[in-house]
Amino acid sequence: MYDARHALQDKLEQERQQLAGLRAALALPHDHGDEADNARDEMAEQLARCHAGLCVERIRALEGLLADLGCGGRRLCADCGEEIPLARLLAVPGASRCHDCQQLAEEEGRGPYPAGRTEGEAPRAAMPR
């Protein structure tokens, strides 16, 4: 039998490693004394921060999902109550609707998440000129 929790744990581990890598890269000192190099680093750093924020969000979603599935539970669609297929949960761990309802919601302009979900780190504000 295919063990869903195993697949999720693998994915969680991958995300954690990616996050650790990003954090390590962000922690490196970077002063080349060269303005062009510093500007490039600044951009790479902003990207890495943005990336790390997304990673954290995915890790939270995966952890929540694992907790839900931990006791043989299932995640049900918030709209129609059908079970959300595992393949979809693996692709979109934070999914709260099945594929059909999600599409309907997007067509109706209700956005990717149910109201009230505003998780995630905002990217750093644009650089002043």
By CB under 5 A, name the binding residues for Zn ion: 77, 79-80, 98, 101
Query: Which of 57, 52, 59 lies closest to 12, judged by CA?
Result: 59
Phi, psi of 118 (to 5 degrees): -135, 45
11 vs 75 by CB, closer to Zn ion: 75
Q: Which residue has the tokens 């979603």?
A: 61
Q: Which is nearer to Zn ion, 16 or 99 (CB)?
A: 99
Residue with Cβ nearer Zn ion (10 or 106)? 106
Distance CA 4, CA 69 (A): 8
Least separation in angstroms between CB 58 and Zn ion: 22
Q: Are 64 and 119 in contact (CB under 8 A)?
A: no
Least distance to Zn ion, CB of residue 104, Å? 8
